[in-house]
Amino acid sequence: MKLRVPAILSFVLILIFSAKIIGSEHSLMPVPKEIKWLEGKFRLTNEFSVSIKGSPNERIYSAATRMLRRLDARTGLFFNQDFITPANNLDSSEFIIYVLSEGRVVLGEDESYKLLIEENSINVHAPTDLGAMHAMETFLQLLQADEEGYYLPMVEINDEPRFQWRGLMMDVARHFMPVDVIKRNLDAMAAMKMNVFHWHLSEDQGFRIESKIFPQLHELCSDGQYFTQAQVKDILKYAEDRGIRVYPEFDIPGHATSWFVAFPELASATGPYKIERQWGIFDPTFDPTKEETYEFFDKFFGEMTELFPDEYFHIGGDENNGKQWDANEGIQEFMKAKGIEDNHQLQAYFNQRILKILTKYNKKMVGWDEILHDDMPTNIVIQSWRGKEAMIESAKKGYMTMLSNGYYIDLIQPASFHYLNDPLEDDTILTPEEQKRILGGEATSWAELVTYETVDSRIWPRTAAIAERFWSPKNVNNIDDMYRRLDRISFLLEEHGLLHIKNYEMMLRRLTDNNDIIYLKTLVDIVEPVKIYQRHFQGVKYYQHSPYTRIVDAARPESKTAMLFNKLIDEFLIDRSAQYRDKIISYLNLWENNHDKLTETTRLSPIISEIIPMSENLKELSRIGLEAIMLIRNNEKAPVKWKDKATGIIEAAKKPYGQVELRVTAGIEKLLRHVF
Amino acid sequence: MKLRVPAILSFVLILIFSAKIIGSEHSLMPVPKEIKWLEGKFRLTNEFSVSIKGSPNERIYSAATRMLRRLDARTGLFFNQDFITPANNLDSSEFIIYVLSEGRVVLGEDESYKLLIEENSINVHAPTDLGAMHAMETFLQLLQADEEGYYLPMVEINDEPRFQWRGLMMDVARHFMPVDVIKRNLDAMAAMKMNVFHWHLSEDQGFRIESKIFPQLHELCSDGQYFTQAQVKDILKYAEDRGIRVYPEFDIPGHATSWFVAFPELASATGPYKIERQWGIFDPTFDPTKEETYEFFDKFFGEMTELFPDEYFHIGGDENNGKQWDANEGIQEFMKAKGIEDNHQLQAYFNQRILKILTKYNKKMVGWDEILHDDMPTNIVIQSWRGKEAMIESAKKGYMTMLSNGYYIDLIQPASFHYLNDPLEDDTILTPEEQKRILGGEATSWAELVTYETVDSRIWPRTAAIAERFWSPKNVNNIDDMYRRLDRISFLLEEHGLLHIKNYEMMLRRLTDNNDIIYLKTLVDIVEPVKIYQRHFQGVKYYQHSPYTRIVDAARPESKTAMLFNKLIDEFLIDRSAQYRDKIISYLNLWENNHDKLTETTRLSPIISEIIPMSENLKELSRIGLEAIMLIRNNEKAPVKWKDKATGIIEAAKKPYGQVELRVTAGIEKLLRHVF
């Protein structure tokens, strides 16, 4: 019997099916709030043009121009418009951007937009140009091609962010990050709809900004590596043009050794002081009992608050170990006299004095969770890093707060770990009112172990997953789909000059002294730097001036190859089909054969020698993996002796070398355990 | 009969032989004036340290620090010294730099040095820190490794440059080049011992520097892309720290359309004017008959000469087509009244007035060879670009001069072409006195067809060969050896952040939309952009805002693979050994099989479609090449029909597509002609 399907039903089915296909093919990141795929394509030709309507801020014109240039760079199309300006703005065009009013780059500004792509026209409607710029980023991510040429799929998107504070913090103090590094990361942030740049400008290891009031600060505390005020203004403009708020952090009272090179008298122990070259937590800390300290900050913050227009101003406050305070008689007496019971309370006293200064200059204080104290007023913002407890406690107590715990990208954890870390869990104990105080969060790029050569790869692409966590609806949390899209996003991010992909092979070339990198790459493709803080505890003491050009520095935080391999193992252990098995065998053969070739071609690269034992372990591991597959294939169990040998090999393969670890060990171990 | 070789003779033979081995293994560029290889090695360990003695300029300390960081980056060694400063300068160390006196970064300063590497110590002796910095670059190029670790070969080097003026000109006007682009190119120049940066700051297409006296210039004539004076000073300091002179060019009276957007009244025809977006020679030119013109330049050059400390100041003067002058009645009357017979003389009048201004500000005028005129005094410097005739004529007439003809790197000619172009030919007609007036030369990076993404690959590594021509003795001119060393130098140059290697694959990724680049790379590896000015005459009209991201922009100026292949052909045709033949067959197979895979994997990259016919031609060409090899192998001559087919295929293969051309056609053609 032939089933007669009503025409309309067929049509609907086709629609749903097509939408599903297009929908699942999309590589948008962050995923928009509402997407309605339509049927059809908007074809891109040389005649493509853009016009602006409404009352936008002038930044929209250069943003539209940048969009056009990124589009022609990818497509090779020769558009007519050179620089889109108010003066040459077209009356009509294929792509029309309607902006209701000027966007202010401040917390809470409307960043929503509607993007409608139809067959002959594209329209953006946004209350502010900030939303319009987000629309342009979504638009660029939609670009596709078929045999006829480039096109955009027809779609209707309604989008707005879940959280208002979607930030990246860059520590430019432990290792200086020049202007071009900051700018390309701002471009990448904008592409990911991130809107807050937290500029961590001072540390024990360096003071990174020009002060005209206290020039000794940049003259004596920076090794000549700092941002001039002209450069700061240039970067502020660059960020503002991209809808990104910028606020500075001057981490006090601890984490401040470098300042005391210029002003030892403000420390809590006698100097002189030298710029700190090691990593860790150090004793030097500001003396909170001296009026000179507050006179200094009044002047210095008077200058800095003038330079940075954002309403928020971060004063750090983390990891102040209080040792200098404990050992300082004058401070002890002060505490006794004032009834201050402990260092936490003394630091709260300090923070209150600083808060008065910031308030005088119309700034709102932000600090790490150590600044949370009942003596502090609730108009400060708490950056929760040691856990989520501080964030929850802050929200409950009436403080605004944002989350960095779980977004510490310097700890080399997978994108999925950060992706699933949500500022507002489903089972939150917070009331709706309290929940509103969770502003969002910040990924933190601490710079002990990165330099301008490697920082991009430690931030991207994983921070894109965090950006999605901050923007997209809570229920957008499918890990596999995130990784699928992350892969493409990582590629697209190169457009901004990021070095996260390019520098990998450059560093491998340097490591092999320009010999064929293939064998080293085969190994380094499947290792990752050891996680959390382990790198500091494996026999290598790192200093600020140490080289960060070894294999561990070239290795990517997340090995895509290892992830794919481990997935293959999982699939294979469920369904023993030949397709998985053959791919696995292919990898294992590759890795087994790699060792001899690697050692042969890198005899004259001593810098690589530290990895050779791992290469050997990988060879053994691969061999034993291949043997396990044979056993599985033959439906055999492993002999005891083999089991012992395999166990020894697995354990050896888990050992880190050069502060990297093999990431395929877990997968191969599963294979082995399967035949144990 | 056993030959008794005297011990001493054996020793000498060993020395000569070893020297030859080490000597021919060196990859120094530019080759030092005198090298005496010694026996033995200086071994590099974590204890390596550097100290400075004598009376150097302070720049030597940061230069020594940079050297240390480059050394640890390559070796992974952890040295003790962080930032070498006068305050922490060691009393003794393994590497001691003796500098007699402060170097002044001016034309003619002593840049000589002696470098002595012995088993336990390294010494540099230099009259100035400029020479000492050159020594450090040579030192870094000597780094090698053996199974024991890193070392420097023992050697004694005495070195000084052949020419005093060893420059790179960067056109930052036609396409703006941001600060970081300039800085990394300055680092590369210093590595190649180049010492002059000629900053071409204005063109029809843009005015690239902030003027506080006439802010309309950067406000209206730059599209917002220009160097602030703060950035200029930063770059000047950066260059000076590296011993590089910087002098600006303001190209007048022609090549000046952009200025007239702000000051139409100074042009020779009524405005208004728009920034020029096309490439070529344009009519707008300054009016040399108005006093307002000279009042303008008096003020503007008053400002610019204050900003740029170098004694030299370039005023362009090239390609002034005179059309606006011819059509301007007032100008014609002026000429009649003054007895000025032609435009060349009128321009000389203009130049004399400008010269007076520059002289007032204590600057020496430099200009393109068009400014050469009997009415001009001999204290100007002529930059010879249209040929060598101007240089020779200038020298004969008493002018200082330097050569750019033959160093126009934007014309995509091979390194060997530039390498063999000598400012002072053996058969020169110049007397020794006249020869002294040839100061050196400049490689010119014109920016019509490059952007910040591609400029590095258009400058490097070929400019390193030019740097050697300017520095090394005249008889250092072996092309094969130059290419051997150039290959390594190209790799080493990545250390400065240059994108000449890294951006190749990035651009291929973008072209394939992140699909496997291997097949596209196989093709693009053996093509080069069409040469000289052909690119503008093959059906694509380029504008300033056109994309420069196509295959032609990714393709390197000089295909190493093609060069190797063509060499293989030459070797094979002399000596039909299997080793050459098999390699050739290997390439031809690769190329023949590439087409189908390329078309399959790039179906959805329309931007690549323009190259597909060439890919097909390569397939045909490779097939016919393989057939030719079979004929050669079988000692057969080609049948007539085959000959006709082959001829057709060769001709087709010579056709450019997307403004690139295959570079293996010549070699394969030789194969074919061999059996014709």
Asked if B111 contacts B161 with a C-beta cutoff of 8 angstroms, the reply is yes
Same domain, B480 and B569: no
Residues paired with A198 in a beta bridge: A169, A247
Which residues of B are less than 8 Å from A77 in CB distance?
A: 547
Q: What is the pLDDT of residue A1?
A: 44
User: What percent helix, strand, coil does chain B show, rounded to 5?
Assistant: 45, 15, 40
Distance CA B606, CA B610 (A): 8
Same domain, A414 and A442: yes
Do A79 and B545 make contact, defined as CB atoms within 8 angstroms?
yes
Same domain, B380 and B513: no
Tell how far CA B424 is from the center of its chain: 19
* Burial (Cβ within 10 Å: 0-12, 13-18, ≥19) of residue B374: exposed
Q: What is the pLDDT of residue A278?
A: 98
Long-range contacts of the stretch A116-119 (C-beta < 8 A, 24+): A116/A155, A116/A156, A116/A157, A117/A38, A117/A42, A117/A142, A117/A152, A117/A153, A117/A154, A117/A155, A117/A156, A118/A38, A118/A40, A118/A42, A118/A154, A119/A40, A119/A41, A119/A42, A119/A154
Q: Report, as ranges of residue numbers, the positions in chain A whose pLDDT lies below 70.
A: 1-24
Average pLDDT over residues B319-331: 97
On whether residue A496 sits in a domain, the answer given is no
Distance CA A463, CA A456 (A): 10
Same domain, B263 and B288: yes
Which two three-digit tokens encode residue B377? Answer: 């005094």
Residue B2 has pLDDT above 70, yes or no: no
On whether residue A26 sits in a domain, the answer given is no
Same domain, B222 and B337: yes
Q: What is the pLDDT of residue B143?
A: 97
Q: What is the pLDDT of residue A6?
A: 54
Which residues of B are less than 8 Å from A150 in CB distance?
A: 606
> Which residue, of A424, A459, A486, is where some domain finishes?
A486
Do B73 and A550 make contact, defined as CB atoms within 8 angstroms?
no
Selecting among B160, B219, B319, B610, the annotated active-site residue is: B319
Tell how far CA A605 is from the center of its chain: 32
Q: What is the pLDDT of residue B283?
A: 98
Distance CA A602, CA A598 (A): 6
Same domain, A374 and A426: yes
Domain that includes residue A125, residue range: 34-159
On whether residue A25 sits in a domain, the answer given is no
| Each residue's pLDDT tens digit, A143-173 | 999 999 999 999 999 999 999 999 999 999 9
Residue B25 has pLDDT above 90, yes or no: no
Same domain, B209 and B283: yes
On whether residue B494 sits in a domain, the answer given is no
Q: Mean pLDDT for chain B?
A: 95
> Which residue carries 């052949």 as its tokens?
B162
On whether residue A491 sits in a domain, the answer given is no
Integer CA distances (angstroms), A234 to A32, A56, A239, A308, A475, in order = 31, 21, 9, 12, 38
Distance CA A652, CA A44 (A): 56
E strand intervals along A225-275: 245-249
B 216-245 residues with CB below 8 A of A? 223-224, 228, 230-231, 234
Q: What is the CATH number of the domain that holds B187?
A: 3.20.20.80
| Each residue's pLDDT tens digit, B424-453 | 998 899 999 999 999 999 999 999 999 999
On whether residue B153 sits in a domain, the answer given is yes
Which residues of B are less than 8 Å from A506 in CB distance?
A: 494, 501-502
Q: What is the pLDDT of residue B637?
A: 87
Between A81, A223, A605, which is nearest B145 by CB? A605
Same domain, B534 and B636: yes
> Which residue, of A128, A159, A190, is where some domain finishes?
A159
On whether residue B21 sits in a domain, the answer given is no
**Nearest-CA residue of chain A relative to B277?**
A82
> Which residue, of B159, B182, B216, is where some domain finishes?
B159
| Each residue's pLDDT tens digit, A278-318 | 999 999 999 999 999 999 999 999 999 999 999 999 999 99
| Each residue's pLDDT tens digit, B460-487 | 999 999 999 999 999 999 999 999 999 9
Query: How does DSSP assign B115-178, residue by residue?
Result: EEE-SS-EEEEEEEHHHHHHHHHHHHHH-EEETTEEEEEEEEEEE--S-SEEEEEEE-SSS---
What's the number of domains chain B is made of?
3
Same domain, A368 and A240: yes
3-state secondary structure of B487: helix
Same domain, B517 and B461: no
Between B150, B510, B514, which is nearest A606 by CB? B150
Backbone angle region of B406, left / alpha / beta, with phi > 0 → left and psi within -120 to 50 → alpha? left
B 45-64 residues with CB below 8 A of A? 62
On whether residue B128 sits in a domain, the answer given is yes
The Cβ of residue A424 has, within 10 Å, a number of other Cβ atoms equal to 16
Average pLDDT over residues B173-193: 98
Q: Output the furthest CA–CA distance in chain A (Å, rounded).
A: 98
Do A83 and B513 make contact, defined as CB atoms within 8 angstroms?
no
Average pLDDT over residues B100-126: 98
Distance CA A93, CA A91 (A): 7
Q: Does A518 touch chain B (CB under 8 A)?
A: no
Same domain, B125 and B264: no
Q: What is the pLDDT of residue A24?
A: 56
A contact test, residue of B494, B504, B520, B536 with most A CBs within 10 A: B494
Do B82 and A503 make contact, defined as CB atoms within 8 angstroms?
no
B 574-593 residues with CB below 8 A of A? none
Same domain, B172 and B146: no
